[in-house]
Amino acid sequence: MNFWPQPQLDQDPAEWLGDAHPLVQQLGTADGLASLHALAESLRTRPVTSLPALREFLRCYHERILLPHELPAIQTAFTHASRHELRELIAFDQKLSTEPALRDFAGASQRVGQGQLQKLRPLRDERLVQRYLAAVENEQAHGWHTLVYGMTLAVYSLPLRQGLLGYAHQTTRGFIHATARGMNVTEAECRALFNELCAPLPGALERSLASQHSAAFQPVPAGG
């Protein structure tokens, strides 16, 4: 699967994201199922074997992973890439490896991110891309999929809000359809679940963007 084909500027990111979460890509494999079960266990949700269990899992995923960790990581990577801040990007990459909430799918995230980073290798004029790629190859950075995605938004001058919402939508849709294959769930039920879960996302995203913007411009205390 071409996870992030080269985007066209007039496209909605959801059209070129593909299955926007590494676990979604792997759900048909033993490793993917094991990672999903580990993530569900870490979120303290029931095994994802029914529509109510899937709803519970995705609500917890939104509240504990997507909104507090993945979307801010994309935004941070976008900001550092836009400013050509390689050192800060690598430091943030290393910081993510210490986040307990991301532990259960770190390997999947890094495999997907590194694979997509390789697809940016032909962009020889993008110095930050080349230097971040070198840092990953030298094991100075991990290449998280969220960071590569945020960097991709910046490289192709795609709108941050549109990219964040596209990631959230496509990830949610991917989880729903990938897990629903093994359950007796109709397309209408999948669509209704998607609409229910994604309705609060624009407001939550705006609050997150406002919070990070405010933090970025917080004055430094005297003597700090």
Taking CA atoms, 176 is separated from 128, 173, 203, in Å, by 35, 5, 22
pLDDT of the residue at 7: 40
Q: Is residue 156 part of a domain?
A: yes
Statement: residue 154 has pLDDT above 80:
yes
pTM (two decimals): 0.81
**How far is residue 90 from each of residues 6, 52, 93, measured CA to CA in Å?**
24, 39, 5
d(CA 149, CA 71): 10
Instruction: Give per-residue burial for 186-213: e unless 16+ CB within 10 Å, then b.
Output: eeeebeebbeebbeebeeebeebbeeee
Residue closest to 58 by CA, chosen among 145, 162, 180 = 180
Classify residue 59: in a domain, yes or no.
yes
Q: Does 221 fall in a domain?
A: no
Mean pLDDT computed over 158-168: 89
Domain that holds residue 134: 16-202
| Closest among 203, 122, 150 to 17, alpha carbons compared | 150
Give the model's confidence band at 173: pLDDT under 50 very low, under 70 low, under 90 confident, else very high: confident
Q: Could you tell me if residue 5 is inside a domain? A: no
Query: In the predicted model, is pLDDT for residue 68 greater than 90?
Result: yes
Sequence-distant (≥ 6) Cβ neighbours of residue 138 within 8 angstroms:
none
Given a cut of 70, whether residue 219 has pLDDT beyond it is: no
Q: How confident is the model at residue 196 (pLDDT cuts 50, 70, 90)?
A: very high
pLDDT at residue 27 is higher than 80: no
Report how many domains make up the chain. 1
Does 8 reside within a domain? no
pLDDT beyond 60 at 156 = yes
Structural domain contains residue 194: yes
Residue range 70-98, pLDDT digits in tens: 999 999 999 999 999 999 999 999 999 99
pLDDT above 70 as % of the chain: 75
* Position 214 in a domain: no
pLDDT score of 111: 86
Highest mean pLDDT of the ranges 84-93, 95-104, 211-220: 84-93
CATH number where 148 lies: 1.10.4190.10
Average pLDDT, the chain: 80
- For residue 9, being part of any structural domain is answered with no
